[in-house]
Amino acid sequence: MARTVVMRAVSGGLLAMSIVVVAPTGCADERGGRRGAGAGGLSSVGMGEGGGPDGAATSSADDDDKDDDDVGHDADDGGAGGAFDVPADDDGAPVEEDEGCRKVDFLFVVDNSVSMADNQTALVGAFPGFMDAIQTTLAADSDYHILVTDTDAWGRCNTLNGWTGHDPDSSTCNDYIANTPFVECDRVLGAGVIHPAGKSASNQHCMTQSGMRYLEPGEADLPGTFACMATVGVAGHPEERPMDAMTAALAPAINGPGGCNEGFLRDDALLVITFMSDDPKYEDAIGPNEWYQAVVDAKLGDPTSTVVLGLTPAWDGCQDGKGPPKGSHWEEFITLWGGNGLHGNVCGSAAEYVAFFEMAVSTIDQACDNYTPPG
- Over the chain, what is the mean pLDDT? 78
Phi and psi at residue 124, to the nearest 5°: -60, -40
Query: Using CA atoms, how far apart are residues 363 and 288, in angstroms rounded to an integer?
Result: 21
Cβ-in-10-Å burial (0-12, 13-18, 19+) of 23 comes to: exposed
- For residues 192 and 260, the answer to whether their CB atoms sit within 8 Å is yes
- List the Cα angle 284/290/292 in 5-degree steps: 100
Residue 324 lies in a domain: yes
- For residues 306 and 296, the answer to whether their CB atoms sit within 8 Å is yes
User: Tens digit of pLDDT for each residue in 47-94?
Assistant: 333 333 233 333 343 444 344 333 333 434 433 344 444 444 455 554
Query: Using CA atoms, how far apart are residues 61 and 37, in angstroms rounded to an integer?
Result: 24
Q: Give the structural domain span for 258.
A: 25-79+99-370
For residue 29, the tally of other CB atoms under 10 A from its CB is 13
Residues in the chain: 375
User: Tens digit of pLDDT for each residue in 265-293?
Assistant: 999 999 999 999 999 999 999 999 999 99
Query: Using CA atoms, how far apart are residues 29 and 23, in angstroms rounded to an integer?
Result: 18
Residue 196: CATH number of its domain: 3.40.50.410
Residue 164 lies in a domain: yes
The phi-psi region of residue 86 (left if phi > 0; otherwise alpha if psi is between -120 and 50; otherwise beta) is beta
Residue 193 lies in a domain: yes
Residue 8 lies in a domain: no
Query: Using CA atoms, how far apart are residues 256 and 51, in angstroms rounded to an integer?
Result: 40
Residue 284 lies in a domain: yes
User: Tens digit of pLDDT for each residue in 172-221?
Assistant: 888 888 888 899 999 999 999 999 999 999 999 999 999 999 999 989 99
Predicted local distance difference test score (pLDDT) of residue 289: 98
Cβ-in-10-Å burial (0-12, 13-18, 19+) of 17 comes to: exposed
Q: How many domains does the chain have?
A: 1
